[in-house]
Chain A
Amino acid sequence: MTKPKKQTRRTFLKLLGVTGAGLVIGITVTRDRRSPFPANDLALEPDAFLQITPENVVNFFLPHAEMGQGVYTGLTTLIAEELDISPEKIQVHHANAHAAYRHPEFRMQITGGSTSIKVRYQPLRQAAANARALLLDAAAEQLAATRSDLTTANGDVVWNGKHFPYGDFATTAASLKLSDDASLKETAEFRYIGGDVPRLDARAKTTGDAMFGLDVEIPNMHRAVLVRCPVIGGAPKSVNANAARETDGVTDVVTIFNGVAVVATSYWQAKKAADKLEIEWDYPALQRQSSAEIRAAMEAALEHDDGKEIYVEGSGAAALDDANSVVEATYWAPYLAHAPMEPMNCTARIEDGNCDVWVGTQVPELARGLAAFHAGIGKRHVTIHQKFLGGGFGRRGMADYVSEAVAIAKESGKPVQLVWSREDDTKNSYYRPASLTKYRAGLGSEGRIESWSVKRVGPNILPHIVEHMVDGMLPAATPDGIVSWLSDRPHGVFKSLVGDPFSVEGLFEDYDIANKEVRHVTHDPGLRASYWRSVGHSYSGFFKESFVDELAAKSGKDPVEFRLAHLSDDSVLRRAIELAADKGAWATGSAPGVFNGFAAHTSFGAGVAQIAEVSIENRKIRVNKVTCAIDCGVVVNPDIVKANVESAIIYGLTAALYGDITLVDGQVEQGNFHDYTVMRMADSPQIDVHIVSSTRDPVGVGEPGLPPVAAAVANAVFAATGQRLRDLPLKLA
């Protein structure tokens, strides 16, 4: 049996947690000299995104992962608009890991934060416009025509009524100088942007042809099943693999950094053999944590620990002393797993000093770095083959399963596909962190909020994210001596991280209140945590919008009027609230037996307001309808915006009504859909989405629909029953 590799860099990172965001940016400095896609000498390749061949094939290399949010269609539409070609004529390819596809803001190749359309809206249009201008230059030269006599129409250059496909000029264009400032269309000229271009991946996703990570087949591919420590973070101490090795189809049993893998010729053989492994584990400190104690410790911290000051406006919490009345309430949100439909998986092959990885990932560049680390080769020898993602929701923003697959491929010497079970997925997530939050507000004589004080207790996700990234992103040249020296420093900075923006985002920003104070108490039981759809907003939207509803009720004001009274005239959220209230006929009230709740929240630049129509049936909460308005700036594809919002609402309702990851002795109790319940069709509401007409540049869409929905439901439950449900998931008393 091989010894697990010692992860020295893991402790090193604890010192870096304090500068986490800076590290993430600072360490991505490698230059990528390889072509980002298979080059073609005869084709026009103006940049990393486009390739137009003499055979008139227009290839677009999609710089972001398609995980359901629709960038496959949306970003292609941007290219189509300025290249002047219909979107379905463009061949779309998933871009592999390459520096050319780095996120312009995050400076690393990543799909997340509801930013793909936002950060690509201008650059991709510009890239396509530049390519079109160059094709016209080439056509003028090749046809000996006057440039101004030429125009374009749906993939053709048009001259004197004659049509010439772009491909005719590709080779000539490739020899000309590309300008980077071709003029862009005016909004009024848009043909595809703002129209409902049908999803370009819809057909392949209804015939079974769409290729997800799990669908990859390579020659001599073996399947691997990995048995991990029942408590995340443990490592195998001793293994008896005799029975597993004797199982039909098993070729290898290997030990890697976090578990023991069975490699077999088929998945079912690997799975059956894995059940026969006898493993003793070195358990991590998380073993001493259980949910009831975690909650009690967080309550004690809330009561006794002042925490760190994150933000103060006006006189801060001191202003509470001057209030006519003070209202306070404490809210809870549990740990959550993402549970995408496609469990984590990764296919890896190490051969002739090269490592190939086939995977659906939100972070191809990190995946490449982790693969290089575990294969023990340079990053330039690693190729990431991106696939469709069977759901991401932030889970595929971590690449732990890439590390595992590459480590298994290396130890076994076989090309392997690592397949996680649903139980593996639920029990080894990077969880949305639990949060306990207390609000205090001072109300003035007019029922106006004069002061707003909030304290959140819970883990920060940034140290966990940085810890995960270190092996993949630290320059390989960092001397081990330095790593060890840093690892030995007895600092506790990991726990004293101040102001992880993900921890407090959304708790305090939306409403105009003269005095605000935000405090944070870091309390981390050690369960790994990370991005989960809408990140901090996933709980802050519930906390803040439940509390503001309580304040409206205490003030005797209408919930919509009360919110509007605390928003400026130019607020993005105001426009969403007004549209939702109008479309959902808020002022008219609800039908008998149905109760309305309102909530609104700004996240990822978008303002979202929702009315939940709820009834109580057999002492259960039933959400009949959600009316939603979103202001997300210019809309590239209205139908896909609506689909994203519908999706976020249903994802958010699952969290509002069912979602709860609990620990016993450090082990995640939930495993599959019977004990980690998700919404099914019969319980999902009618959803009515309205988009605020806007000319501002596009902002986020994939996540902003989620944060308000739990509060909208809880506020409707209050209207129905008088009960304020302050814990998620919502349960009637």
Chain B
Amino acid sequence: MISFTLNGDPVETDAPADTPLLWVVRDYFKLKGSKYGCGLGLCGACSMRVDGQSVRTCILPVSAVADRAVMTIEGLGSKAQPHVLQDAWVAHGVPQCGYCQSGQLISASVLLEQNPNPTSDEIDAAMSGNICRCGTYPRIKGAIQDAASQLRRETDSGNAS
């Protein structure tokens, strides 16, 4: 048995220890938002947050997350309580086919926590592991920049009050 937390809930699994986290989350816990794209950690569709870092889970054995905190797109926000990035994605009309967007959002969320005011080059660097074949990159960048400025405004007003 391997234990970890999944979107805040303690869970355990009897999946073989070498099973990539992606397939444990999808096949065993039935959370389907994280996607399979390449199986080699090259495209980022499978990205989840593990202890706050954006990780390629198609090549991460589930044994590696024992006693760690895993967050998937389902934990980032929901239709009822969206993350500011998810709202920005909708406002910018980012998703086309949508398949890669869970991974894109996970990487973007980590970026904004580590760097609330990223430059264009810093966004490029942080998002370099996430491929989109629909070519939504310009809109992703615009949405990240908008979300960043909104988060900064919220922080500023929070500090003032």
Contacts and interface: CB of A to CB of B under 8 A. Distances in A.
A706 to B, nearest CB: 10
B40 A207 contact: no
Contacts of A211: 32
A194 interface: no
A684 B137 contact: yes
B74 A342 contact: no
26 contacts: A68-B97, A68-B134, A198-B90, A202-B90, A202-B95, A203-B82, A203-B86, A205-B95, A206-B82, A206-B101, A207-B73, A207-B82, A208-B102, A215-B32, A267-B23, A269-B16, A341-B45, A341-B99, A342-B97, A390-B99, A672-B38, A679-B135, A680-B130, A680-B137, A682-B127, A684-B137
Given A201-B98, A207-B73, 10 more contacts: A202-B89, A202-B95, A205-B98, A214-B32, A268-B27, A341-B133, A422-B38, A422-B39, A643-B93, A678-B131
Contacts of B132: 341
B72 interface: yes
Given A223-B27, A390-B98, A419-B36, A206 B133 contact: no
Interface in B45-79: 45, 72-74, 77-79
Nearest to A687: B138
A262 B141 CA distance: 42
Contact of B135 (A196, A205, A419, A651): A651
B96 A70 contact: yes
A201 B20 CA distance: 29
A212 interface: yes
A390 B40 contact: no
A342 B101 CA distance: 12
A381 interface: no
Contacts of B97: 66-68, 340-342, 388-392
Contacts of B37: 341-343, 422
A214 B42 contact: no
A681 B74 contact: no
Contacts of B77: 207
Contacts of A217: 30, 32
A207 B30 contact: no
Interface in A422-440: 422-423
Contacts of B36: 214, 343, 419
Interface in A51-74: 66-70
Give the interface size bracket for B toward A: 35 or more
B135 A650 contact: yes
A-B pairs with the 10 shortest C-beta distances?
Answer: A208-B33, A650-B135, A205-B98, A390-B99, A68-B97, A68-B96, A205-B95, A215-B32, A682-B124, A208-B73
A598 interface: no
B16 A268 contact: yes
B112 interface: no
A655 to B, nearest CB: 12
A391 B27 contact: no
Give the interface size bracket for A toward B: 35 or more
B100 interface: yes
B38 A681 contact: no
A297 interface: no
A141 to B, nearest CB: 39
Nearest to A389: B97
A646 B35 CA distance: 24
Interface in B127-160: 127-128, 130-141
Given A342-B37, A681-B140, A674 B42 contact: yes
Contacts of A189: none
B43 interface: yes
Interface in A224-271: 248, 266-269
A531 interface: no
Contacts of A393: 133
Nearest to B85: A206
A673 interface: yes
- Per DSSP, chain B at the interface is loop
A343 B131 CA distance: 14
A681 B94 CA distance: 14
A727 interface: no
A339 interface: yes
Contacts of B93: 196, 198-199, 202, 639-640, 643
B125 interface: yes
Residue with the highest number of chain B CB atoms closer than 10 Å, among A203, A208, A388, A650: A208
Nearest to B75: A208
A289 interface: no
B123 interface: yes
B102 A646 contact: no
Contacts of B101: 205-206
A389 B97 CA distance: 6
B127 A681 contact: yes
A208 B74 contact: yes
A206 B84 CA distance: 11
A341 B30 CA distance: 20
Contact of A203 (B90, B102, B105): B90
A248 B95 CA distance: 39
A680 B135 CA distance: 8
A11 interface: no
Contacts of B125: 682
A226 to B, nearest CB: 15
A650 B35 contact: no
Contact of B128 (A268, A343, A680): A680
A337 to B, nearest CB: 11
A647 B33 contact: no
A209 interface: yes
A674 B131 contact: no
A263 to B, nearest CB: 14
A555 interface: no
Given A341-B97, A342-B37, A207 B79 contact: yes
Nearest to B135: A650
B131 A647 contact: no
Given A68-B98, A681-B140, A684-B135, A672 B23 contact: no
Contacts of A343: 36-37
B15 interface: yes
A421 interface: yes
A215 B33 CA distance: 8
A218 interface: no
B31 interface: yes
Nearest to A682: B124
Interface string A106-119: 00000000000000
A266 B30 CA distance: 12
Interface string A176-199: 000000000000000000001011
Contact of A681 (B32, B34, B123): B123
A649 interface: yes
Nearest to B83: A206
Given A208-B73, A342-B35, A342-B99, A681 B134 contact: no
